[in-house]
Amino acid sequence: MKFFKVTSLENTIEIVKDNLNNKIISSCIVPLRDSLGCMLSEDILSPEVSPLYNRSTVDGYAVRVQDVGASTQSIPSFLKVVGNVKMGEKPDFTLKSGEAAYVATGAMIPEGASGVVMVEHIDVLKDSIAVYTPIGNNENIILKGEEIQVGQVVAKKGDIIDTIKISILAGLGIANVPIYNKIRIAIISTGDELVDPSEKAENGKIRDINTDMLISFAKTYGFDIAYNTRIKDNLETLKQEIEKAVDIADVILLSGGSSIGVRDFTNEALETLGEILLHGVAIKPGKPTCLAKVKGKLVYGLPGNPFAALLVFKELCCDVIYNMRGYTLKPKTYAFVKTNFHSTPGRTTLQPVSIKVEDNKIYAEPLFLKSSHLATMLKADGYIKINANSEGVYSDTLLPVYDFYPGR
């Protein structure tokens, strides 16, 4: 009889880090417009201040604030209108005492002006305006450099580029950005019982979930799919497919067959083609995980159970790569555990939970759903991690809840 010699989650992560090839941290420059969802490989420092000029935040009249200091509803101040600052143009005059100039929202403030009175607080007369309210110094003006300084970090290495970041970078004139290269993933699903999702599953057959699941999950993390296939439990075919995959992908995922049953060929195939780094990880779910290096590429033998395969892929591949690239994994939320429950001592338990809000308090309710992975996936909002040296968790303990997907 064979047994697993399990490696702790922490040690497994170190082994993964040591064996991922340098491609993981290689980078390139792409146009900002094509960078959505990519990960920045360097901090981005602002090359200029923002805003570049003193600008109006309202539609109104630029004035010298001392000229309107005594304005009231019954005794307005009268100012001569000497100009109209056009959008995108620099005013070619300096405002003197007793003068005002029209400025639209975003227009440049003329020299000499120290505030803007909103159009709502004035009456327009022939060549002048009546101002009915005093204003403070720099009121309704955003000053040059008020938002962003030169050299300020506006986006960090490891940040995923989203719409907000694209907007900020576009505004600062950063039209090209350094990003990490895409990682190419190959997926080989194995199992005599598997049929395509488009086929009928009869007589003991089941539909292949993992191929589509792993493809979509890898894409969510910004990885490219270099290759995917589904094969029967056959040692020779498996070996051929692994050899093909290591030539075209950076990371290879084998789904199913990683355990120690008679139809589990992952370990044997990897042993013949390369070097087994470990077989058996002290996590639940995901114990029958195998890691190997073949032709310089890291190969994951993932468990066949879809939920286990997903969590192992996330924890031991996606998150490790993100971490190596400087991404800070943040929990989705913190929540109070709803009920006492036991974990498995000696193994880090990844416990799926559903999140509920009751009496203004966020709760994480553990989902105990046999091996029914579909039901778990339907209901889980995330998962909590219970340390290998703990025996369980008491209700009302506040714990981080991790999302299945990377956050911002």
Cβ-based burial of 336 (10 A; exposed 0-12, middle 13-18, buried ≥19) = middle
Interaction partner, residue 278 (ligand AMP, Mg ion, none; CB < 5-8 Å by kind): none
The entry of Mg ion, ligand AMP, none near residue 194 (CB within 5 to 8 angstroms by kind) is ligand AMP
Work out how close the CB of 292 gets to ligand AMP at its nearest, in angstroms, rounded to a whole number. Answer: 16
Is 267 an interacting residue with respect to ligand AMP (CB under 6 A)? no
Judged by CB, which is closer to ligand AMP: 265, or 322?
Answer: 265
Burial class (CB in 10 A: 0-12, 13-18, 19+), 108: buried
C-alpha distances in angstroms, 151 versus 99, 144, 147, 157, 171?
A: 38, 15, 12, 15, 15
Residue 320 within binding range of ligand AMP, rule CB under 6 A: no
Residue 406 binds to ligand AMP (criterion: CB under 6 A):
no
Minimum separation from the CB atom of position 287 to Mg ion (A) = 15
Q: Is residue 12 involved in binding ligand AMP (CB under 6 A)?
A: no
- Tell me whether residue 50 or residue 228 sits nearer to ligand AMP (CB atom): 228
**Dihedral angle computed from the Cα positions of residues 193, 199, 200 and 201, in that order, rounded to the nearest 10 degrees:** 20
By beta-carbon proximity to ligand AMP, the closer residue of 41 and 258 is: 258
Question: Coil, strand or helix: which one is 236?
Answer: helix
For the CB of residue 258, give the shortest distance to Mg ion in the complex, in Å.
8
Question: Count of residues binding ligand AMP (CB under 6 A)?
Answer: 17
Cα separation of 110 and 129, whole Å?
17
| Helix, coil or strand: residue 186 | strand
What is the smallest separation between the CB atom of 257 and Mg ion, expressed in angstroms?
5
User: Helix, strand, coil % (nearest 5) of the chain?
Assistant: 25, 35, 45
Q: Which stretch binds ligand AMP (CB under 6 A): 12-20, 33-41, 104-112, 191-199?
A: 191-199
**Of 222 and 256, which has the nearer Cβ to Mg ion?**
256
DSSP state of 285: S
Bridge pairing between strands 275-279 and 224-231? unpaired
Q: How far apart are CA 280 and CA 184, in angstroms?
A: 25
Q: Is position 352 an interface residue for Mg ion (rule: CB under 5 A)?
A: no
Q: Do the Cβ atoms of 146 and 98 come closer than 8 Å? A: no
Is residue 189 involved in binding ligand AMP (CB under 6 A)?
yes
C-alpha to C-alpha distance for 202 and 6, rounded to whole angstroms:
36
Angle of helix 235-248 relative to helix 266-273, nearest 10 degrees?
A: 60
Binding flag, residue 280, ligand AMP (CB under 6 A): no
Among 60, 222, 303, 352, binds ligand AMP (CB under 6 A): 303
CA 15 to chain centre: 24
Residue 256 in the binding site for Mg ion (CB under 5 A)? yes
What mask, x for binding ligand AMP by CB under 6 A, covers residues 237 to 266?
Answer: ------------------xxxxx-------
Residue 186, interface with ligand AMP (CB under 6 A)? no
**Residues making contact with Mg ion (CB under 5 A):** 191, 256-257, 304
**Residues making contact with ligand AMP (CB under 6 A):** 189, 191, 193-194, 206, 208-210, 255-259, 303-306
